[in-house]
Amino acid sequence: MTTHIQPNDLALWLRELSVMLRAGETPLAALRAMHGAPAQPVSVRRLAGAAAAAVEHGRPLADGLQDAFATAAPCPAHQLLRASLSSGLPPADALRLAAALVADSPRTAPDPWVNRTRIIVTTGLALVVVAWLVFYLLPVLVLGVQDSTMPLELPLPAVSVLLFGMAGMARSVQPAVVPAVIGLLLAAVFLSRRHGCDQHAAWRNAVMLRIPIVQRAVTQAAAARLFRALGALLAHRVAPAQALQTARLAMGLRALTEAMEPAQQALDRGSPFSIALPESGLFPESVCRIVAEAELGGGLPDVLCRLADTYEGDAQATRLQLQSLAVYSVAVGLALLIALLVIGAFAPMIQLLSWMGG
């Protein structure tokens, strides 16, 4: 049976497990306590029980956790957990590091700007659906008005005018096309809330990387996660090659992860970060120079964390720009829709006055 666990729950569970191990609890006792805690989610208790059974049979804690998560649904957070547990750190330190990486991993919790943008877009689409129902479907079903050449015709489907750009085309479009297009848009908004689907995530990432402002936001966020994970791993004395191998999983975008492969190969050959990082081609020369100077000075983990903070601030600013653009676009679209509806509402009165004066 496949277990589905949210990355937020996983990060909290790993943090609590690390605290219990640091307090002197044995791995088996800590896992049993997690398994029997009614406040824990069912998925967490199920995985804790599987790991406890493996530890009870003599398996090390790291192997028991990896065996337990082998039954879980694929998730980038699980890859981070496995990489942290295989880093050679003590179990408590490995779990604390894994909790930090999982908490900072993509799709752990949607950013507030994402939720606000979804609300704005969904509200606009809902208004479009209501307008189509009122100004097209209701007259057709209730009044039987279908011929747009009647003297007192009801307004043309304003949604069709908005979607296809001209009233003449709207007259020739089948009515089923409009709800089909709206349904596809609503389905896209709904699918964007799904987590853990590799095919959908790959398609979504490919689309995002082709939109300039979105590409800048996601690239900056991925770089922030990479540098933060690298700083944490190097601070725990993890080897540079293994640290980059683990930190690449925190980026969350397959295209960017693959772009770091030349840097990974350079580190595997024994090259320092100052030589390996420019191999990826993802970072400007100024960032590579800062990393090189920090590596020579011996404070590379702290510098990487500060770079992560800088990238995170830039990503937040880009997200605010993207949200403002979405708000303005929806506002302009709704203004055009309202204008079309008002024109359509007054069209019968104008026709009536023209007929009476004619």
Question: What pLDDT is attached to residue 8?
Answer: 72
The answer to whether 124 and 333 have CB atoms below 8 angstroms apart is: yes
**Euclidean distance between CA atoms 358 and 348, whole angstroms:** 15
pLDDT at 285 over 50: yes
pLDDT band for position 280 (50/70/90)? confident
pLDDT band for position 4 (50/70/90)? low
Across-strand partners of 218?
Answer: none
pLDDT band for position 345 (50/70/90)? low
pTM for the full predicted model? 0.61
Tell me the mean pLDDT in the region 129-142: 58
**Euclidean distance between CA atoms 17 and 11, whole angstroms:** 10
**Which residue has 């069912």 as its token pair?**
42
Other beta carbons within 10 angstroms of residue 168's beta carbon come to 10
Top-confidence range, 73-82, 95-104, 262-271, 349-358: 262-271
Q: Higher-confidence residue: 211 or 72? A: 211
Of the listed ranges 7-21, 117-131, 165-179, 183-197, the least confidently predicted one is 165-179
Instruction: Name the burial class of residue 33, with classes exposed (0-12), middle (13-18) and buried (19+) by CB atoms within 10 angstroms of its CB.
Output: middle
Contacts with 77 (C-beta within 8 Å, 6 or more apart), sequence order: 7, 10, 11, 102, 105, 108
Question: Can you spell out the DSSP letters for 247-298?
Answer: HHHTS--HHHHHHTHHHHHHHHTT--HHHHHHHH--S-HHHHHHHHHHHHHT
pLDDT band for position 124 (50/70/90)? low
Top-confidence range, 47-51, 163-167, 221-225: 221-225
pLDDT band for position 1 (50/70/90)? low
Three-state DSSP at 80 gives helix
Q: Higher-confidence residue: 82 or 156? A: 82
pLDDT at 141 over 60: no
**Euclidean distance between CA atoms 227 and 263, whole angstroms:** 14
**Euclidean distance between CA atoms 214 and 347, whole angstroms:** 41
Q: End-to-end distance of the chain based on CA atoms, in angstroms?
A: 76
pLDDT band for position 169 (50/70/90)? very low
C-alpha distances in Å from residue 295, one per residue of 153, 181, 213, 238, 259: 76, 54, 32, 15, 22
Q: Higher-confidence residue: 44 or 78? A: 44
Tell me the mean pLDDT in the region 217-235: 85
Top-confidence range, 59-68, 152-161, 201-210: 59-68
**Euclidean distance between CA atoms 246 and 255, whole angstroms:** 16
DSSP state of 300: H
Q: Higher-confidence residue: 166 or 136? A: 136
Domain boundaries, the chain: 7-103
DSSP state of 44: H
Angle at 12 between CA 8 and CA 16, to 5 degrees: 170
Residue pLDDT, tens place only, 48-94: 788 888 888 888 777 777 777 766 655 555 666 666 666 666 777 77
* pLDDT > 90 fraction of the chain, expressed in percent and rounded: 1
Question: What pLDDT is attached to residue 74?
Answer: 52
pLDDT at 183 over 70: no
DSSP state of 173: S
What average pLDDT is seen over the chain? 71
The answer to whether 189 and 220 have CB atoms below 8 angstroms apart is: no
**Euclidean distance between CA atoms 85 and 88, whole angstroms:** 7
Tell me the mean pLDDT in the region 106-135: 59
pLDDT at 155 over 50: no
Three-state DSSP at 37 gives coil
pLDDT at 258 over 60: yes
**Which residue has 């350079």 as its token pair?**
266
pLDDT band for position 177 (50/70/90)? low
Tokens read off for 98: 């894994």
H or E segment and range at residue 14:
helix 7-22
Question: What pLDDT is attached to residue 351?
Answer: 66
pLDDT band for position 158 (50/70/90)? very low
**Euclidean distance between CA atoms 311 and 228, whole angstroms:** 10
**Euclidean distance between CA atoms 173 and 179, whole angstroms:** 12
